[in-house]
């Protein structure tokens, strides 16, 4: 089971308890009016409740006790219907609140070491920090609020935010200077400039989002609500017209039956679940550790046509891995391989590990006990090389070509004539050349290649099935870019790409009426992230990138936009599928209630009684009960979403119509018939048989 699946346990006892309380609290008409469809049902409940007390208030004729009993049963079922709708929304909100409580435990009021302009220190509460304050955080201390590293380098434990146990390196300058409040410095120290005021950190924003406090209806949600209101008004007008026509035909219809007909024909199923679907969509994104600044951003993901991705760190690992050993001068490849492996045995960097792995594949003899126990010289920015010192005094180094050349010259060595050509050849391919030397003798070059992440070909193929075009942006030369693009399986690429080129590419796609998604982490990505319809910034990136985007990935996984797009599509499909199901339901309920209302007075309408329900009252009550019961049965589907499979839109539409359209017709027929068989004896027993 995946991490996400483990996190998405449908309902807990606490969520259930809160949802039950919330479903009652939401009965307030001032709240219910925000959902017009269910507000109509609540009004129907109040009218039926009044008719239970005063059965003849609107002129209904018949046995008073039977009318009162029938009206009471209708009122109870309508109340349950509204409670079920409120329960669905409360469950969705409860799942968010549960996650928010977990995040609130992470957010603690800590003491911050503030550095004043004169260099002195002052201890303040993290809640007192303001944007622009400079704080010093040492090993073992919690970072008080979001900020950017302006001095120092340290490992930071972000597990409280991301759930990942491995610490990450944060340092001043570049794209890894951003830090998140609530994380802990594991080693060394950091001097941080605070970039958020109290209550405005990413953790605060995330808490608000998962609680639903800042959620607003999306354009699609508003449009669908308008449609549902329109359908409700049409059905109400039809029913209002039906009542005098029935009277003219000599058919006496109780007001409660008219209310039951109205409730069953208006789109109550989707009306009850609409809000829950939207909240659940936001919840699913959040559970992937992505902060969506709005529901609109999530929905936009579902309509994305074009995806623009950086190469380094997104399509490729970013950490360049050893791909080949190229000897120079008179040296052999086997000797170069052995020495390259020897000086990499204690190198824990991706480059070092990959060098050893490649050497093993080439049957290296460099994995010796002498090399393992040698003195390891770590890489430093000053020397730009690393290596080992053997006990016998032999020194082996690997590093940047100019650094190694300078070292060899100082030691009195000779530079091979083909070294420069080899180094330039590797660089021209978009690789990184590491030169290996033993004392004053150069043996050759390690070719470090930025390797394409495994599985991306399949993922891009999946996007292609969705109808999404992928464009790779890279600063590499066209030859290298074309090679990487072919290997990754993207549709096209932009080589030697500058920030303005990304913006132009986005604008070009948007001019054709397409929605564009993009990922980025650097300040240079900020303009493009702001221009894109969906901008996903890495939490490890700069503040400028995060502020420009409408989504932030707390895990800093650049390929996660693929999952986010699928969630967006799933949200739209779920809403469409349940709308189809809800409207299709009306057909079965029509054939259940209409014959029951008119058959006694108009025997010719018996032909419409294709369900052969027991009695008029049992038929009406069965349809009403099914209308209520179907809501909680669909809550898991609304929460988890309709299963999404990449396919053409025409195929998807046909599939959903077949499953949820046809299913929406068949299921009520079966359900209402079964309920009728169960309740018919009870209806007869209490005297409502006719």
**Residue 335, H or E segment:** helix 333-342
Question: Taking the mean position of all CA atoms in its chain, how far away is CA 405?
Answer: 50
CB 95 within 8 A of CB 277: no
Q: Which residues are CB-contacts of 330 (< 8 A; sequence separation ≥ 6)? A: none
The rounded distance, in Å, linking the Cα atoms of 184 and 649 is 46
CB 558 within 8 A of CB 314: yes
Helix ranges (H only) for 532-615 are 543-548, 561-598
Which residue has tokens 């058919």? 251
The angle subtended at Cα 684 by Cα 682 and Cα 687, nearest 5°, is 110
Strand order in the sheet with 432-438: 321-327, 441-449, 432-438, 395-399, 385-389, 375-377
Q: What is the 3-state secondary structure (H, E, C) of 10-45?
A: CCCHHHHHHHHHHHHHCCCHHHHCCCHHHHHHHHHH
- Residue 682 CB neighbours (<10 A): 12
Q: Which residues are CB-contacts of 460 (< 8 A; sequence separation ≥ 6)? A: 470, 488, 489, 490, 491
**Inter-CA distances, 140 with 137, 162, 190, 657, Å:** 9, 18, 12, 57
3-state secondary structure of 148: strand
> What ranges make up the beta strands (E) of 474-624?
492-494, 516-520, 534-538, 551-553
The rounded distance, in Å, linking the Cα atoms of 588 and 585 is 6
Element counts in the chain: helices (H) and strands (E):
25, 22
Of 10, 4, 111, nearest to 555 (Cα)? 4
Q: Which residues are CB-contacts of 616 (< 8 A; sequence separation ≥ 6)? A: 596, 597, 599, 600, 690
The rounded distance, in Å, linking the Cα atoms of 140 and 189 is 9
- Residue 491 CB neighbours (<10 A): 15
CB 176 within 8 A of CB 540: yes
- Among the listed residues 60, 283, 310, 525, the single catalytic one is 310
418 labelled catalytic: no
Dihedrals phi, psi of 519, to nearest 5 degrees: -115, 150
Q: What is the 3-state secondary structure (H, E, C) of 218-249?
A: CHHHHHHHHHHHHHHHHHHHHHHHHHHHHHHC
CB 620 within 8 A of CB 257: yes
CB 551 within 8 A of CB 342: no
Of 504, 567, 561, nearest to 534 (Cα)? 561
Strand order in the sheet with 134-138: 121-125, 111-115, 134-138, 189-194, 147-151, 178-179
Catalytic positions are 310
């Amino acid at each position: 089971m995946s991490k996400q699946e483990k996190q998405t346990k449908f309902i807990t006892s606490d969520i259930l308890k809160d949802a039950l309380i919330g479903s009652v609290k939401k009965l307030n008409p001032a709240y219910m009016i925000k959902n017009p469809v269910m507000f109509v049902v609540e009004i129907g409940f109040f009218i039926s409740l009044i008719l239970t007390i005063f059965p003849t208030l609107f002129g209904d004729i018949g046995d008073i006790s039977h009318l009162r009993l029938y009206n009471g049963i209708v009122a109870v079922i309508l109340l349950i219907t509204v409670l079920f709708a409120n329960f669905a929304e409360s469950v969705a909100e409860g799942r968010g609140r549960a996650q928010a409580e977990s995040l609130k435990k992470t957010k603690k009021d800590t003491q911050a070491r503030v550095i004043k302009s004169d260099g002195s220190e002052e201890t303040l509460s993290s809640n007192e920090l303001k944007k622009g304050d400079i704080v010093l955080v040492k090993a073992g201390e919690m970072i008080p609020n979001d900020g950017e590293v302006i001095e120092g380098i340290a490992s930071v434990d972000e597990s409280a935010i991301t759930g990942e146990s491995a610490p990450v390196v944060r340092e001043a300058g570049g794209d890894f200077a951003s830090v998140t409040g609530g994380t802990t410095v594991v080693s060394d120290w950091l001097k941080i400039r605070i970039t958020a005021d109290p209550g405005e950190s990413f953790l605060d924003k995330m808490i608000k989002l998962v609680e639903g406090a800042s959620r607003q209806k999306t354009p699609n949600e508003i449009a669908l609500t308008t449609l549902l209101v329109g359908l409700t008004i049409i059905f109400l007008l039809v029913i209002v017209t039906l009542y005098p026509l029935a009277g003219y035909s000599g058919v006496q219809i109780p007001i409660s039956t008219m209310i039951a007909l109205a409730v069953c024909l208006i789109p109550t199923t989707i009306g009850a679940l609409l809000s829950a679907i939207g909240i659940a969509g936001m919840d699913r994104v959040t559970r992937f550790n992505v902060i969506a600044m709005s529901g609109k951003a999530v929905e936009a993901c579902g309509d994305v046509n074009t995806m623009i991705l950086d190469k380094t760190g997104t399509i490729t690992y970013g950490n360049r891995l050893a791909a080949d050993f190229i000897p120079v001068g008179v040296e052999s490849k086997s000797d170069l391989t052995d020495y390259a492996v020897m000086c990499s045995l204690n190198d824990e960097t991706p480059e070092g590990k990959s060098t050893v792995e490649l050497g093993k594949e080439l049957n290296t003899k460099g994995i010796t006990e002498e090399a393992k126990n040698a003195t390891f010289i770590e890489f430093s920015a000053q020397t730009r090389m690393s290596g080992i010192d053997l006990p016998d005094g032999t020194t082996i180094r690997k590093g940047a070509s100019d650094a190694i050349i300078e070292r060899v010259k100082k030691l009195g060595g000779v530079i091979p004539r083909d070294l420069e050509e080899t180094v330039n050849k590797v660089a021209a391919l978009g690789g990184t050349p590491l030169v290996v030397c033993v004392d004053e003798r150069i043996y050759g070059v390690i070719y470090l290649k930025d390797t394409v992440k495994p599985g991306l070909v399949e993922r891009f193929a999946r996007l292609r099935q969705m109808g999404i075009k992928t464009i790779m942006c890279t600063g590499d030369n066209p030859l290298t870019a074309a090679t990487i693009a072919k290997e990754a399986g993207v549709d096209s690429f932009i080589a030697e790409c500058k920030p303005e080129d990304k913006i132009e590419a986005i604008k070009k796609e948007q001019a054709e009426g397409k929605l564009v998604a993009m990922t980025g982490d650097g300040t240079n990505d900020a303009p493009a992230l702001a221009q894109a319809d969906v901008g996903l910034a890495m939490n490890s990136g700069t503040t400028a990138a995060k502020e420009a985007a409408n989504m932030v990935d707390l895990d800093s996984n650049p390929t996660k936009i693929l999952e986010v797009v699928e969630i967006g599509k799933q949200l739209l499909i779920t809403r469409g599928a349940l709308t189809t199901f809800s409207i299709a339901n009306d057909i079965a309920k029509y054939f259940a209630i209409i014959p029951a209302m008119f058959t006694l007075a108009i025997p010719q309408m018996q032909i419409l009684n294709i369900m052969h329900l027991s009695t008029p009252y049992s038929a009406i009550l069965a349809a009403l009960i099914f209308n209520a019961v179907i809501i909680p049965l669909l809550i898991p589907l609304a929460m988890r979403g309709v299963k999404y499979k990449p396919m053409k839109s025409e195929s998807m539409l046909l599939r959903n119509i077949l499953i949820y359209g046809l299913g929406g017709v068949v299921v009520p027929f079966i359900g209402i018939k079964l309920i009728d068989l169960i309740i018919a004896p009870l209806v007869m027993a209490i005297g409502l048989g006719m």
